[in-house]
Structure 1
Amino acid sequence: MTNLITKLSASALALMLALPVQAQDTLSADSVVATINGTEITLGHMLMIRASLPDQYQQLPDEVLWDGILDQIVQQTVLSQQDSGEESRRVQLALENERRALMAAQVIEDIVDDAVTDEAVQALYEETYLQGEPTEEFNASHILVATQEEAAAIAEEVRGGADFATVAQEKSTGPSGPNGGQLGWFGPGMMVPEFQTAVEGMEIGAISDPVQTQFGWHVIKLNEKRVQAAPELASVREELEATLSQDAVSQRIDELTASADVTRTAKEEVDTSVLSNLGLLEE
């Protein structure tokens, strides 16, 4: 929307003043707020535009939005009433697509409303975060080299008192070398299996024997480990609601599609380049 929102239109003001004054509680979506060459514009038309405005316009006062929205409708209406504004094939198809999309969105909204309840969110939270064994996380450092012999010599060196971080900076070929080999915190499945298995079997402060992975040979030091606490429900509620919504909508779509009588033109039977031929809309 352009500066129609912010500029007061004399024509819109005249239309407003011509209307009988009605208390807010007597208005309905069918209340007529303007008439243009016999075409009635209702409060419902205005409300639909209001609901679809970008966020930056949603914050504007209602008295400003009223003028801008009514201006827009009046101007669109007088344009659409011209001979050149007849309902072309493009417009017909666009309206059919828009109607289909809006009706589908309404059904999806109903599905989500039924699926996303406090009880469902709580149940999914408990299933996701409170059941099963607590997740253990690890904080480790490593030194990566090319051969087992190099790794064995390094393991002996750091066990003998050499500073692990300093040796990592000097000898590690991995990207964490300049940072002293520090890998930070990670949980199950975040490292390659051989590395993960070695770390899970270590005690805090221990230095591993050489561990081979697809990247080379590692000497690992386990710095810390902890049990990951379950997050508060409030912090993951949005994520849980999204999961419930997606699952419910996908399930319902699968059910409806499976029970529908659907026929498709096989892709092999058409030249799919026709999809770029927008000129067909003019025929």
Structure 2
Amino acid sequence: MTQLSSKAGVGAPSSLGFQAKVMGSFLRDFDARTALRAIFCGVLVSAAAAEAIRFGVVERPLSLYANYEEVDPVVARVGDDVLRVSDAMAHAMYTGVDAETAADVPKLIATGTVEDAVDHLALAQMARDAGIADALEIRAAVALAERQILAEAFLDTIARDAASEDKIVARYEAEKATLERDSLMRLSKIVVETEDEAKALAARLPRANFATLAKQKSLHRQTGENGGAMEERQIAELGPELTEALATLPIGGVTEPVQTEEGWTLVKLESRRTLRLAPLSERREAIAKALREEAIAAAMDKSRDEFPTQVRSAEAIIEAAPDFPAGMIAAARIKN
């Protein structure tokens, strides 16, 4: 194995974690094919993650460009393949190394992470030489890893753009404006059958007591028994006909007769209080979450519209390939 520098650096610890996992797989199953398959699938995920970093799908820390002259320099050569900085970073993140350490190549070398990545790359070459890359389940795993990484990276980008600071502030201001237009009102009402009855009652006000008339005349039994008193409501909850009638009504005022689903209605505005929105600092995370969820839902809807799907029936699939086995198929052939 030829490298640009000594393997993992002088005095670097050996990659015992990775080697222990490999040996554990052999000892548990006594099956070289299963062990190599597990290793190769892990390599696939690391390689796909590295490509996502390399092509800009995943952001790279800016400090990396400041520390190295090349955009993505080679860390090691392994046979015909090369291990680049992005590969080492992806491997580090995949194995649970924190982001700060993953962006520091000297640390990756000193901690044996690069050595782990080199071992993975060498084993991947062996797997390809053994024909494992041609196995149907391995090709399926490659395709799955690519789909997952690309889909998640795409949705992460969508969500990040949707929850930018400018958009959070804009949504907050919109919420604030809505609350300023809205208010929480305490109302009373009288419901009668005809418009003439409603006009006759309106003519008796303000000389007559509204609550007394509600108890005597209102067809709405629940509020009528309480002098017409309703639960506190936001104006937006009342429907367009009452919203318009109450928009400019002063405290203590009574609307003209309004036809609603219940009948002809007189409504008295007992009190009004303006709703107050929590400060932006308290609303920021909830707004950001809502924006992200809305953007992801919209992206999913758009994907379904742009890429119509037709799923074949199980019967049709079986008929097309009657000898196609169920479950994991086409076991890899390992050359002796």
TM bracket, shorter-chain basis? 0.5 to 0.7
The answer to whether the 8 A contact 1:204-1:224 is kept is yes
Deviation at residue 200 of structure 1 after TM alignment: 1.6
The 5 Å alignment of 1:228-239 reads 228-239=275-286
**Root-mean-square deviation over aligned CA pairs:** 4.9
> What is residue 267 of structure 2 aligned with on the other side?
220
1:100 alignment partner in structure 2: 147
What stretches of structure 1 of length at least 5 have no aligned partner? 1-24, 48-87
- What does 1:112-261 correspond to in 2, within 5 Å? 112-126=159-173, 128-129=174-175, 134-137=180-183, 138-156=185-203, 159-162=206-209, 164=211, 167-168=214-215, 171-173=218-220, 176-177=223-224, 180-187=228-235, 189-246=236-293
Gaps of 5+ in 2: 1-11, 27-31, 43-91, 97-134, 325-336
Instruction: Name which of structure 1's ranges 235-244 and 25-34 shifts more when overlaid on structure 2.
Output: 25-34
| Amino acid paired to 1:220 | V
- Paired residues of 2:215 and 2:225 also in contact (CA < 8 A): yes
TM-score, structure 1 length as denominator?
A: 0.52
Q: What are the Cα deviations for residues 227-278 of structure 1, in whole angstroms up to 9, with x where unaligned? A: 33333213432342134425655787899999xxx7768x7xxxx7x44648
Does the CA-based 8 Å contact 1:145-1:172 persist in structure 2? yes
State percent identity of aligned pairs: 21
Aligned length in residues: 209
For residue 220 of structure 1, report the CA deviation from its aligned partner.
0.6
Q: Which amino acid aligns with 1:171?
A: S
Q: Aligned partners of 1:279, 1:255: CA distance in 2, in Å? A: 28
Superposition TM-score, scaled by structure 2 size: 0.46
Q: What secondary structure is seen at the aligned counterpart in 2 of 1:144?
A: strand
**C-alpha distance 44-163 of structure 1, shift in aligned 2 (>3 A):** same
CA distance in 2, matches of 1:154, 1:90: 80
Pairwise CA distance, 1:209: 3.0
Q: Tell which structure's C-alpha radius of gyration is larger.
A: 2
Give me the whole-angstrom Cα distance separating, in 1, the residues matched to 2:237 and 2:147: 43
| SS of residue in 2 equivalent to 1:139 | strand
Deviation, 1:194, is 2.1
> Which residue matches 1:31?
18
SS in 2 for 1:151: helix
What's the offset of the Cα at 1:32? 3.9
Task: Name whichever structure is richer in strand by fraction.
Answer: 1
Mapping for residues 58-69 of structure 1, pairs under 5 Å: none
TM-aligned CA deviation for residue 147 of structure 1: 1.0
Q: Secondary structure of the equivalent of 1:197?
A: helix
